[in-house]
Structure 1
Amino acid sequence: MKLSKRASVIALFLVAVVAGGVASAAWLVSGTGTASSQAASAVSLTVTAGTPTASLYPKPAAGYGSGTVGAVQAKVDNPNPFPVQLTSATIGAVSITPLSGRTCAASNVVGLGTIALATPVLLPASSTGTVVTVPGALEMISTAENGCQGAGITAQVTLSGASA
């Protein structure tokens, strides 16, 4: 009886050592090899005209006094799989469509070049129709023709920023 009790204890000890060794080996398993990924390519934003406000008028000698005068508004689509933060706008060519029977030369309105956005605009990934307002983007010359009243004004705008 002593021999079988001793054999049982030894057998249990060997099972514990072997089982512990297997469990230990499972924790130490590793492998090395290669993996791959691919960076996304940035796609240009789509910028379309937003809903304008009737805020532009001939510039007084003292200036406008408010950034809301001459603001332009655009709707922006970000087709990228990452968010984009817009930090500036560059105003390019300006065109004017006067009301029927009136005249208003394009030279009556001036785009103010590159404008830093005081508050950067965050465009979520894969977003559409985000409204971006660029304050103080346009000025009307002080001697603008009377026919410029009520005219529609379109400005080329380039929005710039980086992935966020």
Structure 2
Amino acid sequence: MVELLKSDYSACLRRKIPFFLLLIYRIGNSVVYSKIPKPIKKLVILILKVIQKIFSDILFHTELPFGAKIGKGLRINHPYGIILSEFAKIGDNCTIFHQVTIGMNEGNRKINDGVPQIGNNVYIGCGAKIIGGITIGDNVKIGANAVVTKNIPSNCTVVGNPAIIIDKCKENSVSELKVYSI
């Protein structure tokens, strides 16, 4: 857990508020997935949830549930209004801006059913919504206010509502820009 916290601290550019929110999450996540006896685990999680409710939910309107699986080096630029599903999976070295929602479809209530899985090195712009049982590949950039409801392959840029994939050709020429509807 120490290595995760070091990478989170570096990724948050040594900003204290985003790091503090990730610290609460990391401690809670390690307790949830530990082999501590249930009565002790419940007590510790209760205390952590109170701390999280005060600092994370009330002050910053950010929900980082302890059950979510977040890789190392998460960068939260502005920790306001970020909502994650309890079962969301986020890879290493991702960046999340404010007002981002990563959630399940309303009809899916089973664990790990309809939960977004986000790859490594993904940039999620402010106001983006990632909803449903979809997979976002590695090295993807999701633009501000994009609504993503379908799988996105690696190395793409996604923009718009509904989201479209923008795929640059090898020559990186603007005239050869391809837009694919998803």
**Structure 1 length normalisation: TM-score?**
0.18
Which of the pair has more CA radius of gyration? Answer: 1
- Which structure is higher in helix share? 2
**Structure 2 length normalisation: TM-score?**
0.17
Name which structure has the greater RCO, CA cutoff 8 Å, separation 6+.
1
